[in-house]
Structure 1
Amino acid sequence: MSLLAVSLVIFSALLHASWNLLGKKVSPTVAFFSLAFLAGTLPLTPIVLPFVWDQGTVLFHLLPLLLLSGFCQAIYCSALALSYAEGAMSVAYPLARSIPVMLVAVISSVLGMQALLSLEAYIGVFLVLMGAVLLPMQHLRDFKVGNYFSRCMLLALLAASATAGYSIADKIAIDQLADHLPQSGLIVAVIYIWLEGIAACIFLFTVQLVRADDRHKLKTVLASQKKSIALTGAMITLTYLLVLWAMQLSENISAIVALRQVSIPIGALLGVLLFKEQLGWVKSVALILLCAGVFLILSPV
């Protein structure tokens, strides 16, 4: 993989951890992340519309996958925001990033979307599970079943499950879209990101606009956090575009996906440094296990 591709992916990982950090620091609410998602999607509209204007038939066939992906994105966005409001970023972020890698690998293998998992991948699944067990602890004596039913943990796991859901739906949908569009892979990816973003915003805002309290939160956050919303939205979109660009520069997609997970320790360390969250040796071991497990799962079969 070229130095440029490596640089793009590492910068993307830094951006991913950073926009999560910004969201937790400024306003860890569903309203904030929803508005940021919208802010990152709308600017793509003038670019995308000319390409999709005459593709009604294709988009109609993709509608079930787009709705599934949008629904999962909305669940992810909501669960992530609420998990940050309930607990430590150094716990929620690594779980939300590592568990989906394991779930996608296992589900894709079962559904026949990829080859059967290798021995290394099975070891990686075990390491991810061990890391998830250790992550909430400060000391080994802290092991209590109740620690794994905290709102922060459950919401982080819900976010992770939703990530696995939209990742699988996206893989199927974007392959179908690429088969019907003559544009380059990068343009197809931009088109799909916009379609997925619109679907996610429909679910996010439909739920929030129904309740008066949620409408008030949207207005309050928008009035007080315009700059942070715009910045977070731009970072969310740029994060994906950098990875897509890197994919155009390298044939080793597995290496790119694996390299993206450098955001796991980055996100955890940012939580420790900026929010003064406790790290401790047990959490450090857990992070090492999560990262090692992710790389083994993503290793070539």
Structure 2
Amino acid sequence: MSLSATVLVLLSAVLHATWNLVSKRQQPSAAFYLVASAAAGLLCLPLLGASWANLARLLPTAGLLLGVAGLCQGLYFVALAGAYRQGDLSVVYPLARAVPTILVLVVTVLRPGDSAISAVSGVGALLAVTGCLLVPAKRFRDLGPRTYGNRSSLLAVVAAVGIAGYSVADAEALARLRLEAGLSPTTSALLYLGCEALSTAAVLAVWVLSQRQERWHLRQVAVKSAGHAALTGVVMYVSYGLVLAALAFAQDVSYVVAFRQVSIPLGALFGLVILGEPWHRPKLAGVGAICVGLVLVSMG
């Protein structure tokens, strides 16, 4: 992988872990992520307006998948907010980042027409699953059903399901845009990114406005943390934009995917060092196993 691609993807990983740190410190709500998604969508409006002809080709081709992705991202943010209010960044972040890769791998294997995974990917998946089982535990002898029944871990897994859902929808939508709408990879990715931010904001708006507590949270965000929420949204989508840019420089996409896993130990380290979360040995071992496992999956 070229130096340019390496720098871009590492910067993306740092930004991804950073926006999660910022939002965790705000004790986020769905309303917080509504403001974040809306800010990102508004940032993309000039691009969407300037590309109206391409946008007219995007919506008929990928409109349904865009809606599915918005629903899945909405689920992700609602669950992530609950997980961060209940649990540690150093537990929630590795789980939410690792489980989707495992789920997408399973979907790929089960989907008709796809080939079986390699032995390297299989070993990597087992390592990642083992890491996910270790991360929530305080002691190695605590491994058992009670360790995984806490609210934050369950919500982290729900968030991961949301990530897996929109990842599959995104991949299918972008493939259709290239093949059926005739859009270039860069154009389709940037336009889709902006539309997805607005779709997610719309889904979150419905949820927030339908919940009394979330309406209260929205008023609190507007008064106390609108700037943090907007910054989170902008950094969130800039981070993804850097990944798209890195793909343009990389000859092998698997290296980009592998290098992105740097965000997992970094996010855990932010929680441990900056937020003062406990350094439990199973957590450290689990984060290490997740990182190695996901790198093997991406390289396999």
TM-score normalised to structure 2 length: 0.95
* Number of positions where the alignment pairs a residue of Structure 1 with one of Structure 2: 300
Measured in 2, the distance between the counterparts of 1:54 and 1:171 equals 18
Q: Which residue of 1 aligns with 2:226?
A: 226
Q: Which residue of 1 aligns with 2:197?
A: 197
Give the 4+ runs in structure 1 shifted more than 3 A: 52-58, 112-115, 180-184
Q: Which residue of 1 aligns with 2:4?
A: 4
Code of the aligned partner of 1:155: L
User: Contact conserved, 1:83 with 1:92, CA < 8 A, in 2?
Assistant: yes
Query: Identical aligned pairs, as a percentage?
Result: 35
Q: Which residue of 2 aligns with 1:64?
A: 64
Structure 1 residue 58 displacement after superposition: 4.5
Q: Which residue of 1 aligns with 2:163?
A: 163
Measured in 1, the distance between the counterparts of 2:211 and 2:287 equals 39
Measured in 1, the distance between the counterparts of 2:60 and 2:261 equals 34
Q: Which residue of 2 aligns with 1:208?
A: 208
User: Contact conserved, 1:9 with 1:243, CA < 8 A, in 2?
Assistant: yes
Give the SS at the match of 1:225.
Answer: helix
Q: Which residue of 2 aligns with 1:119?
A: 119
User: Contact conserved, 1:30 with 1:81, CA < 8 A, in 2?
Assistant: yes
Structure 1 residue 214 displacement after superposition: 2.1
Give the SS at the match of 2:81.
Answer: helix
Where do residues 1-301 of structure 1 align in structure 2 (5 Å cutoff)?
1-53=1-53, 55-56=55-56, 58-112=58-112, 114-300=114-300
CA RMSD of aligned residues (A): 1.6
Kindly tell me: are residues 232 and 113 of structure 1, through their superposed partners in 2, closer, same or farther at Cα, counting changes over 3 Å?
farther
TM-score normalised to structure 1 length: 0.95
Structure 2's unaligned 5+ residue stretches are: none
User: Contact conserved, 1:41 with 1:237, CA < 8 A, in 2?
Assistant: no
Measured in 1, the distance between the counterparts of 2:213 and 2:160 equals 27
Structure 1's unaligned 5+ residue stretches are: none
Code of the aligned partner of 2:230: A
**CA deviation string 1:31-66 (max 9, x = no partner):** 112211111121111111232446546513422211
User: Contact conserved, 2:61 with 2:177, CA < 8 A, in 1?
Assistant: no
Structure 1 residue 117 displacement after superposition: 0.5
Measured in 2, the distance between the counterparts of 1:262 and 1:57 equals 36
Measured in 1, the distance between the counterparts of 2:63 and 2:285 equals 43
Structure 1 residue 192 displacement after superposition: 0.5
